[in-house]
Structure 1
Amino acid sequence: MKVSRKTEYGLRAMVALASMAGVDRTVPLREVAEAEAIPEQFLDQIMAKLRRGGFVTSVRGAGGGYQLSRPPEAISIGALVRLLEGSLSPIACVTEDAGMSPESLCDLYEGCHTRSVWMRVAAAVTNALDALTLADVMLNDVPLHV
């Protein structure tokens, strides 16, 4: 699974927000962009998606900016990555998209001998990311074996 820049920057921005302010105060977008060396326009798009997804709140005007919508312990890395990245599945036939059936995505679905490999990979990635919170990442307390 290759993670997009959007997801990489989104996670870094969330860690920066949590470190700078948490749920207590807002941080201007420019401060987060500068702290994490993320292009401000791209970060603005990412933060809009995070706001729509319920991970952050925003305040406009003087003293405005972004803050976490809940404590870092309550923010799942798996949910964050799914919002920014979409499916965590490494291949279409094991997609977690409720609107698509695996059979409709692959002609070889019925007799495929490798699908079980991709199902295991998808389960491992999902379980690993769902076991982590933003607080774990902030504390650099991410176990190598979950």
Structure 2
Amino acid sequence: MRLTTQTDFGLRTLMFLTHLKRRATIAEVAGLYGVSINHIAKVVNLLARHHLVRSIRGVGGGIELAKPADRISVGEVIRIFEGNMHLLECVGTENVCSIESFCKLKSTLAEAERIQLEYLNTVTLADVAPTSKQFARSTPNLP
């Protein structure tokens, strides 16, 4: 499985918010990772629709985690952004292959997907987020 850039920045945005302990702006996140504000805005919009990020408008507004980092699994975030994570089309669809009735590859790949997602569901943002000290070393201009 290879994750999309949008998933990557969704996870990175959440990791940054885990570290920050305050509201951040989309511009801060975009500046940190060197990507466009529009790209991060789309990522944050999806995170907010799934209640992982709270977006507050106006003066003093910004974005923040909507729930504690230890209650957000990496698997959940990946599913939100990736949707269909099947390794091959046949894993999630019936009658797409002429050898499906005797093929053992489909069940093997389905089991691999299940194990991978099961593991990713046990890992939380709190488990993967860098420490404040690590962020401070790599981003000296951020509070």
Aligned 1:1-146 pairs, distance under 5 A: 1-21=1-21, 25-95=22-92, 102-138=93-129
Which runs of 4 or more aligned residues in structure 1 lie more than 4 Å from their structure 2 counterparts after TM superposition? 104-107
**Contact in 1 for aligned 2:70/2:125 (Cα 8 Å):** yes
Task: Kindly provide the amino acid, as one letter, of the partner of residue 111 in structure 2.
Answer: R
By relative contact order (CA 8 Å, sep 6+), the higher-ranking structure is 2
Deviation at 1:86, TM superposition (A): 0.8
Equivalent position SS for 2:24: coil
RMSD over aligned CA atoms reads: 1.7
Gaps of 5+ in 2: 132-143
Gaps of 5+ in 1: 96-101, 141-146
Normalising by structure 2, report the TM-score: 0.83
Deviation at 1:123, TM superposition (A): 1.5
Normalising by structure 1, report the TM-score: 0.81
Task: Kindly provide the amino acid, as one letter, of the partner of residue 19 in structure 2.
Answer: S
**Contact in 2 for aligned 1:9/1:38 (Cα 8 Å):** no
Q: 1:43 to 1:107 in 2, by over 3 A?
A: farther
Q: Percent identity?
A: 30
